[in-house]
Amino acid sequence: MGTHVKPLRRILEFLLIYACGIGGLLGIKAAFRLSDYLIPSAGELLTTAAENGWRYTEAVADTAVVAVAGHGFSILLAVTVAFVGISRSFLGALTKTAAYNLQAFPVVAIAPILFIFLGDGITSRILVASLVCYFPLLLTFIGIFAQPVEDVEHFFSMTGRLTRRLALGIRVFENAGKILAVIAGSGTMAMVGSIVAEFLVATNGIGYVIRKALYQSNLAHILVSLFFIGLFSSLYISIIELMGRAVQKRLDPVEDTPA
Amino acid sequence: MTPLPIPHAPFPHPGPRRRAVILILCLIACLVEALSACNARKTRDEGQGEVLTLRLKWLFNVSTAGELWALDKGGFERHGLRVLLREGGVEHNAIKEIELGRAQFGIASADQILQAAGKGADIVVLAQIFQANPLQWIYDETRFTVQDVSDLKGRCIGITYGGNDEAIFSALMERYGITDRDVRLYAVHYDYSPFWRGEVDLWPIYRNVEGVVLAEKIQANGGRAGFFDPGAAGISFVANSLVTSRLFYETQPEKVRAFTEAVTEGWYEAMAPQNLHAAVEIVRLRDPETRPELIAEQITATRQLVVQPGRPVGTIDKKAWKETAQILAAHGLLDRKPDFTRLLAGPPP
């Protein structure tokens, strides 16, 4: 039952936060009699939503597809880099340094290089999205892969059956909750990443809508865009959480069984 | 043995209720900070602040030469003003800064001004800095030439969707009966490589800034830069102008008049051919990455846009403003037609 309620709760929470934000803005607008140019009126927001709602839904869906693909790629990238990075070889150290350095560079500075070689298509957008969200995943994976679960590993170690693969399996299994939490959290960052990519180069997606609105100083369009971004992000995170719970339940059915 | 009483900790760990109170206090502090920023507008508009802030449209470059000249050569001081110039950008909209009281004056493009006025921002245009819009399209003349608008047919043209060039080019297409089938439009971003690869034939630029830099690069690659000017094809779309709030205009007319004079004089002097070297130095102080000879070329290109024969610097071309408003309205970018008499009032008499 609880697993069915949570997505709805997340969306309701988002709606509440969004309504508070908009309410606050409109309150400030009314208190200081600010123009519609600075803060749009409620009427303008509703008109913008009514006129562009479907177009923005499509744009967010487009962004979400890129975000999901970028998120998937980032998980793959983080696992690979963490796997190579934990080894004590020269390659491992180099990979780890490169991964950390890459995070130190702003994506907006790296993106143009990607666009030169990969063009302004979906590949670049996915790559930028994954670059934005891979780092927390990488840190988590490195932490988990490198940290032995002494209680369990000791037994296999003493019996001489502990292989590297088994050790990693134990560490992943024991930290499944942590991994799922960071995957769900980085989902939001994947959405941000794909919006950044669209902002920089694409001609579709909600990032492109925001870019155009910024050029025209049109806050109404930006606020309505934020609504759809928030709604889709809440939905996406809820889905990941649901999937995570399902996986966890399968891995450890005892934990979810009521006493 | 009686146990010693445990002393109270000097800073006890806050309980849930106390944490909630702290959180609420933090939220109130944030709200007060936001409100005080808005409130600053009133106090500054009443003229209590000594330093007047001018929010520019863009970063310091040749398009701000007049304001920089007025600042560095004592133009503002001669008019009894203390002025702070602040760089602009996409995230710094001068009109919004004026409304919030963070600036008393601003440089904004005509589309920003008209859209703001159309949405109830009570602002006044004091001077029109650019008499001709610097927005043009660059191309390599060794590949093809654009003598008139019909030469654009069959070409791939870069457009910044959401930018001025989209509205200008759409107006051009409508006026000359060019359809989507006649040209290919390419969405321009920060990356110029599609232009260098020849995938895009004409690229939108500001003639006096990127135009000069790209022309040099085209020449270095064995080409010759050509420019397509929509203004020459009869499209009048006003660019940067000096604005202030109606409130400041009405309560501080002397300051507004003095400020407008200082800025227009600054532009006049910065654009004077005999002051070229000094103007280059002033721009270069804030834009050290650009070579002096390139800045000199940029100033020469800017002069043609700012100084026009028979027109004092800063003249407000009302006919061009009305055409700009028509173009914006035709593209659904103008909610309400502004009161041009109020908006384009110029400096106080």
Question: What's the pLDDT score for residue B91?
Answer: 76
Which one of B90, B115, B189 has the shortest CB-CB distance to A200? B189
Please count the residue pairs, one from chain A and one from chain B, whose beta carbons lie less than 8 angstroms apart. Answer: 74
Name residue B245's beta-bridge partners: B123
Would an 8 Å CB–CB cutoff place B34 in contact with chain A?
Answer: yes
Helix (H, G, I), strand (E, B) or coil at B336: coil
Which percentage of chain B shows pLDDT scores above 90?
Answer: 76
Distance CA A147, CA A188 (A): 27
**Nearest-by-CA chain A residue for B121:** A35
How distant is the Cα of B252 from the closest Cα of chain A, in angstroms? 21
Confidence check: pLDDT of A16 > 50: yes
SS3 letters across A13-40 = HHHHHHHHHHHHHHHHHHHCCCCCCCCC
User: What is the average per-residue pLDDT within B87-106?
Assistant: 91
Highest mean pLDDT among A143-157, A243-257, B331-345: B331-345
Which one of A28, A115, A211 has the shortest CB-CB distance to B191? A115
Helix (H, G, I), strand (E, B) or coil at B306: helix
Question: What's the pLDDT score for residue A164?
Answer: 81
Q: Are B265 and B77 a contacting pair, CB within 8 Å? A: no
Confidence check: pLDDT of B46 > 60: no
- What are the residue ranges spanned by the domains of chain A? 2-30+40-251
Helix (H, G, I), strand (E, B) or coil at B316: coil
User: What is the average per-residue pLDDT within B82-96?
Assistant: 90
Average pLDDT across chain B, whole number: 88
Q: Are B107 and B242 a contacting pair, CB within 8 Å? A: yes
Confidence check: pLDDT of B230 > 70: yes
CATH 3.40.50.1970 at B135-228, yes or no: no
Q: Say which range, A16-30, A149-163, A195-209, A242-256, has the weakest mean pLDDT.
A: A242-256
Angle between the A42-85 and A90-104 helix axes, to the nearest 10 degrees?
160
Question: What's the pLDDT score for residue A200?
Answer: 81
Question: What's the pLDDT score for residue B60?
Answer: 94
User: What is the average per-residue pLDDT within B299-326?
Assistant: 95
Chain B partners of A34 at a C-beta cutoff of 8 Å?
38, 99
Chain B partners of A115 at a C-beta cutoff of 8 Å?
189, 191, 193
Name residue B85's beta-bridge partners: B54
Would an 8 Å CB–CB cutoff place B26 in contact with chain A?
Answer: no
Provide the Cα torsion B176, B179, B182, B184; round to 10°: 120
- pLDDT band for B200, please (50, 70, 90 cuts): very high
Would an 8 Å CB–CB cutoff place B189 in contact with chain A?
Answer: yes
Question: What's the pLDDT score for residue B14?
Answer: 54
Q: Say which range, A145-149, B109-113, B306-310, has the weakest mean pLDDT.
A: A145-149
Question: What's the pLDDT score for residue B264?
Answer: 97
Which one of B112, B120, B191 has the shortest CB-CB distance to A35? B120
Distance CA B86, CA B65 (A): 13
Which one of A32, A115, A217 has the shortest CB-CB distance to B38? A32
Cβ contact (<8 Å) for A214 and B90? yes
Chain A partners of B24 at a C-beta cutoff of 8 Å?
none
**Nearest-by-CA chain A residue for B328:** A216
Highest mean pLDDT among A224-238, B15-29, B249-263: B249-263
Query: Given 3-state DSSP classes, what are the helix, strand and coil percentages for chain A, each rounded to the nearest 5?
Result: 85, 0, 15
Would an 8 Å CB–CB cutoff place B113 in contact with chain A?
Answer: no
Q: ipTM strictly over 0.85? A: no
- What are the residue ranges spanned by the domains of chain B? 45-131+238-343, 135-228
Closest CA to B302 of B61, B108, B113: B61
Q: Which two tokens stand for residue A33?
A: 């009699």
Record: fold of B45-131+238-343: D-Maltodextrin-Binding Protein; domain 2 (3.40.190)
Chain B partners of A213 at a C-beta cutoff of 8 Å?
162
The separation between CA A107 and the C-alpha centre of its own chain, rounded to angstroms, equals: 15
Question: What's the pLDDT score for residue A1?
Answer: 41
User: What is the average per-residue pLDDT within A232-239?
Assistant: 89
Chain B partners of A208 at a C-beta cutoff of 8 Å?
161
Chain A partners of B118 at a C-beta cutoff of 8 Å?
37
Cβ contact (<8 Å) for A28 and B189? no
Cβ contact (<8 Å) for A38 and B34? no
Would an 8 Å CB–CB cutoff place A28 in contact with chain B?
Answer: yes
Question: What's the pLDDT score for residue B3?
Answer: 44
- Of B10 and B255, the structure prediction assigns the larger pLDDT to B255
Confidence check: pLDDT of B11 > 60: no
How distant is the Cα of B123 from the closest Cα of chain A, in angstroms? 11
Name residue B52's beta-bridge partners: B83
Which one of A40, A112, A214 has the shortest CB-CB distance to B190? A112
Chain B partners of A214 at a C-beta cutoff of 8 Å?
90-91, 162
Confidence check: pLDDT of B231 > 70: yes
How distant is the Cα of A36 from the closest Cα of chain B, in angstroms? 5
Q: Say which range, B13-17, B133-137, B263-267, B315-319, has the weakest mean pLDDT.
A: B13-17
Indicate if B135-228 has the same CATH topology as B45-131+238-343. yes
**Nearest-by-CA chain A residue for B165:** A215
State the DSSP code for B105: E
Average pLDDT across chain A, whole number: 86
Distance CA A81, CA A138 (A): 7
- Of B105 and B333, the structure prediction assigns the larger pLDDT to B105
Confidence check: pLDDT of B41 > 50: no
Distance CA B8, CA B94 (A): 55
Confidence check: pLDDT of A107 > 50: yes
Q: Say which range, A26-30, B186-190, B213-217, has the weakest mean pLDDT.
A: B186-190
- pLDDT band for B132, please (50, 70, 90 cuts): very high
- Of A214 and B209, the structure prediction assigns the larger pLDDT to B209
Q: Which two tokens stand for residue B344?
A: 């384009």
The pLDDT tens digits for A43-75 are 999 999 999 999 999 999 999 999 999 999 999
Confidence check: pLDDT of A92 > 90: no
Would an 8 Å CB–CB cutoff place A51 in contact with chain B?
Answer: no
Confidence check: pLDDT of B237 > 60: yes
- pLDDT band for B18, please (50, 70, 90 cuts): low
Exposure letters B4-36 (e unless 16+ CB within 10 A, then b): eeeeeeeeeeeeeeeeeeeeeeeeeeeeeeeee
User: What is the average per-residue pLDDT within A89-109?
Assistant: 83
| CATH superfamily name and code, A2-30+40-251 | MetI-like (1.10.3720.10)
Block residue for tokens 């094809």? B233
Q: pTM above the 0.90 mark?
A: no
Q: Which two tokens stand for residue A20?
A: 């508070």
- Of B292 and A259, the structure prediction assigns the larger pLDDT to B292
Closest CA to B299 of B251, B267, B343, B326: B267
Cβ contact (<8 Å) for B119 and A37? yes
**Nearest-by-CA chain A residue for B40:** A32
How distant is the Cα of A113 from the closest Cα of chain B, in angstroms? 9
User: What is the average per-residue pLDDT within A5-17?
Assistant: 83
Phi, psi of A201 (to 5 degrees): -140, -25
Would an 8 Å CB–CB cutoff place B191 in contact with chain A?
Answer: yes
